[in-house]
Structure 1
Amino acid sequence: MKMKEYLNKAFPEVELIPSLYYQWDLSIHFTLGQNSYQLTDKGETNIGYFAKVYNQVHTIFNEVFEGDDELFLVTNLYKYIGEKQPTRKLNVYNRYVKNKRLLTHLQVETYPYPFEIEEGKYEMQQFSLRCKVRDIKVNSLIKAAIHEDFPLKPKLGGYPPGYPDVFFVNVTKNVMLFIYDDRGCEVLGLDKQQMNNIYKKYRKWVDELDRGKIERSLQ
């Protein structure tokens, strides 16, 4: 089964673009690094803040993914229309997939740019690879997703229109995770009990403004 076929069956209303939380009722938006700041008083990168965020995202990831789970690792690459060699600056698969033989099954589709700003100037290429969690260098890939706006390594590569977006779509458990940057991540699922358990366990990482919507969807 290809990624689009799976989505149409399991999450028919969802497009894999930022703000998944608003596309699906059974979804949780986590706010990361609460009461901490990305920069120190001296304007330097606050390593303690990022350590806190890494820990939060790893905890959430491990709550919904296990090593033998099958998933689609999906990446949106934003680029100028007509840009040659679209994979040249995309480091996600060569760098973070352990089993390089899987890369022969990497799929790519081209779509219109999903954001309103300069809509006709750019396009989106969406890469997807079906693999298992244990095939991915999860810790490094999570850090690279978190590092979007900061001069920290590892990085995902990409082109000037925008940093690549990475989605983890768990086919085994019908749940997905999107880390949009160091400020937050989103979890979507089909199983209300599973989502309720995740929410209750990590409710302290959910902003009060989001709790009402989430709690209504879990009733």
Structure 2
Amino acid sequence: MKIKDYLEIKFPTLELVPSIYYQWNTGIHFSLGKDIYQFKENNELNLDLFRLVYKQTFTIFNELFEPNDDLFLVTNVYKHKTEGKYPRKLKVYQPFLKHKRYLNQIQVKTYPYPFEVDKAEEYEMQQFSLLCKRKDIRVNELLKAASNEDFPLKPKFGGYPVGYPDVFFVNITKDIIFFVYDDRGCELIALDVERIHPLYKKYYHWIDEADRQF
């Protein structure tokens, strides 16, 4: 199965790019690290914030994904069309997979650049996808890398200078998609509201008032 085929069946109107919460009727938008600023008064990074964000993303993920769940690990890489074809694939996946054999199973498809910018036609999006199980991924490190997007912290994703890669966890066992866009928040959508309603109630205090809908 390919990610495109799965989405066409289960989430037919969804474009797998940031803001999935706003594209789908059944979802949750969590705000992370509430009331803590990224920097201290002396302009040093506030590591207390990042420790909280890591804890929150780990908690949400572990409530959604079980070790044997089948999932697509999908990465959008944004690049100028003149750059090489797939030179960054290993930097996106290699550090976060437990078994190197999966590197040969990664699929890739090229799409138009999805964002509105000047000369957008000069750029493109390469979407990499790997069908695996949750237990095959170094989840904690991967979630940290997603949260560290705008800051000089490790781990980080490899990628092109055009934009930081976006990583989506598409759980095909439970029909759930999870996306951490950076240290400010994460998005969750589901085919069945009953899959995520308990999470909504349990972590209601992590949801901004404007995003409370159930």
Q: Which residue of 2 aligns with 1:39?
A: 39
Cα deviation, 1:163-187, whole Å, max 9, x if unaligned, reads 0000000011110100000000001
Q: Which residue of 2 aligns with 1:24?
A: 24
TM-score, length-scaled by structure 2 = 0.97
Q: Which residue of 2 aligns with 1:175?
A: 176
Q: Which residue of 2 aligns with 1:123?
A: 124
Tell me whether 1:197 sits opposite 2:208 in the alignment: no
1:22 partner amino acid: Y
SS in structure 2 at match of 1:120: helix
Q: Which residue of 1 aligns with 2:149?
A: 148
Listed as ranges, the gaps of 5+ residues in structure 1 are none
Cα deviation, 1:9-44, whole Å, max 9, x if unaligned, reads 111111110000111000100000001111111101
CA distance in 2 between counterparts of 1:95 and 1:196 reads 33
1:201 partner amino acid: K
Moved over 2 A (4+): 85-90
Listed as ranges, the gaps of 5+ residues in structure 2 are none
CA distance in 1 between counterparts of 2:161 and 2:57 reads 26
2:145 partner amino acid: A
2:149 partner amino acid: E
* Contact map agreement 2:92 2:159 (CA 8 A) in 1: no
CA distance in 1 between counterparts of 2:101 and 2:158 reads 22
| C-alpha spacing 1:43/1:89, structure 2 compared with 1 (3 Å) | farther
CA distance in 2 between counterparts of 1:115 and 1:195 reads 29
How many Å apart are 1:160 and its aligned residue? 1.5
1:133 partner amino acid: R
* Contact map agreement 1:69 1:133 (CA 8 A) in 2: yes
Q: Which residue of 2 aligns with 1:79?
A: 79
How many Å apart are 1:82 and its aligned residue? 2.4
1:186 partner amino acid: E
CA distance in 2 between counterparts of 1:48 and 1:161 reads 29
| Structure 1 stretch displaced more, 114-123 or 127-136 | 114-123
How many Å apart are 1:120 and its aligned residue? 1.0
Q: CA RMSD in A?
A: 1.1
| C-alpha spacing 1:94/1:56, structure 2 compared with 1 (3 Å) | same
* Contact map agreement 2:88 2:160 (CA 8 A) in 1: no
How many Å apart are 1:197 and its aligned residue? 1.1
How many Å apart are 1:92 and its aligned residue? 2.4
SS in structure 1 at match of 2:121: coil
Aligned length: 213
How many Å apart are 1:105 and its aligned residue? 1.2
CA distance in 2 between counterparts of 1:166 and 1:117 reads 21
How many Å apart are 1:90 and its aligned residue? 5.4
Tell me whether 1:15 sits opposite 2:15 in the alignment: yes
Cα deviation, 1:143-169, whole Å, max 9, x if unaligned, reads 000000000001002112100000000
* Contact map agreement 2:80 2:162 (CA 8 A) in 1: yes
